């Protein structure tokens, strides 16, 4: 995920932060349009700095969550990053070294 965040910064933004059910739907639709399916993709939620303290990479407050049941679980250890579209429509914690597409957002 670090490479994905660096790429978003290079493009003038950050990995997507999601603050409502509606924003979650919009991001999911963007992924489907770009990839032709609901593939897993990075969003900017991480607890890499402090375990179990989830933060958006753009510094915004965490006010909405869409974790799958039993997530985040850190099942495989060091699952400090978040992917969207887990189980079809939820979020999952995943090892940050996993290679996934990503969603960048530029704030106005």
Instruction: Note the pLDDT tens digit of each residue in 25-69.
Output: 999 999 999 999 999 999 999 999 999 999 999 999 999 999 999
Query: What is the average pLDDT across 11-16?
Result: 96
Percent of the chain with pLDDT over 90: 91
- Only one residue has tokens 């579209």, namely 85
Neighbours of 59 (CB within 10 A): 9
| Domains of the chain (ranges, CATH numbers) | 2-105 (3.10.100.10)
Helix (H, G, I), strand (E, B) or coil at 97: coil
Under a CB-based contact definition with an 8 Å cutoff, are residues 43 and 4 in contact?
A: no
Quote the radius of gyration of the chain (alpha carbons, Å): 13
* Alpha-carbon gap, residue 19 to 60, rounded angstroms: 9
């Amino acid at each position: 995920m670090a490479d994905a965040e660096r790429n978003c910064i290079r493009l003038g933004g950050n990995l997507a932060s999601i603050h409502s059910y509606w924003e979650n739907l919009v991001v999911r639709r963007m992924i489907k349009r770009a990839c032709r399916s609901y593939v897993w993709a990075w969003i900017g939620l991480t607890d890499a700095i402090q375990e179990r303290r989830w933060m958006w990479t753009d510094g915004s407050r965490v006010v909405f969550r869409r974790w799958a049941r039993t997530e985040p679980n850190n099942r495989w250890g060091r699952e400090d990053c978040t992917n969207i579209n887990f189980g079809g429509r939820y979020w999952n914690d995943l090892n940050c070294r996993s290679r996934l597409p990503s969603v960048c957002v530029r704030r106005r």
